[in-house]
Amino acid sequence: MSAKTSALLCGARDTVPMLIGATPFGVIFGTLAVASGLSLPATLLMSALVFAGSAQFIAVSLIASGAGLVVLLLTTFIVNLRHALYSASLMSHVSHLSQRWKIPLAFWLTDESFAVVQRHYLDPQIPLENKHWYYLGSCLAMYGNWFLCTLVGALLGNALPGMAGWGLDFAMVATFTGIVVPLLRTRPMLLAAVVAGLVALVACDLPWKLGLMLAALCGVSAGVLAERWSAAASVREVGNESV
């Protein structure tokens, strides 16, 4: 087995825990999409071309309520702005790749793949050479799983119309908790998570999911300020010791 194939399979393997949480989420989306009036081909096409769980859920609900195209595009755009933060975090690791790599990897980037891939990139013991194959393996695992679960949910939508009320979406909450907690290694990271969580709770009733972006901005700002204060305190301590 070549090093590229090995990295690809390792990326898919390490993403399996994320697939467990995403599976019921994808099935519920397929069920809701069909119940909201989308045809089976349209539902599958959305998962194939959009591939953004939260944005797809919001889009389906807006379509069912008769919202206009401008509102639909603006709302899903705002919800997906968090991916700009993911991309900025990974940019230094993929800047050497060609466009034929960057474009599909950018399209396939999700919350789950970001969590898996970032830890892989931060491991200094693994050479950079084939890490993008690991990245690709994680993305393909998530993409294939999401499309398959959408198909299953759409086919089961008519047979089990009450599936959305079964509480299966809790698996996704548990998955995101598993993504975030291991990354909280410093006080600025912990402060950012706490601030973002509190703001998200307070602003959850804002329209168009603006509370999500507000929470992200407040969390990032709190983390940056805490990092600067920590660095300034370290400088002062060094200065006092030298004196």
What digits encode the pLDDT tens for the residues 96-112?
899 999 999 999 998 88
* HSE, side-chain direction, 13 A CA sphere, residue 87: 13
* 140 in Cβ contact with 12 (< 8 Å): yes
The per-residue pLDDT for range 2-19, each reduced to its tens digit, is: 888 999 999 999 999 888
Per-residue pLDDT tens digits for 210-233: 777 788 788 888 888 888 887 777
3-class DSSP state of 179: helix
Residues near 209 by beta carbon (within 8 Å), at least 6 away in sequence: 58, 75, 78, 79
Q: Give the confidence band of 25 by pLDDT, cuts at 50, 70, 90.
A: confident
State the Rg of the chain over Cα: 20
pLDDT in tens, 29-75: 888 888 888 899 999 999 999 998 888 888 888 887 777 788 788 77
Q: How far apart are CA 142 and CA 110, in angstroms?
A: 8
> Regarding predicted confidence, which is higher, 148 or 165?
148
Q: How far apart are CA 178 and CA 173, in angstroms?
A: 9
Say what the pTM is.
Answer: 0.74
Per DSSP, the three-state class of 160 is coil
202: left (phi over 0), alpha (psi -120 to 50) or beta: alpha
SS3 state of residue 177: helix
Residue 84 has pLDDT above 90, yes or no: no
Which has more confidence, 20 or 108?
108
Q: What pLDDT sits at residue 171?
A: 59
Residues 179 and 112 sit within 8 Å (Cβ to Cβ): yes
Quick one: average pLDDT of 85-92?
84
* Letter string b/e over residues 69-90, b meaning 16 or more CB atoms within 10 A of that residue's CB: eeeeeebbebbbebbeebeeeb
pLDDT in tens, 165-199: 665 556 556 666 766 777 677 888 888 889 988 99
- CA–CA dist 33, 40 (Å, integer): 9
The pLDDT of residue 111 is 84
For residue 197, give Cα distances in angstroms to 24, 81, 167, 190, 192.
24, 17, 22, 11, 8
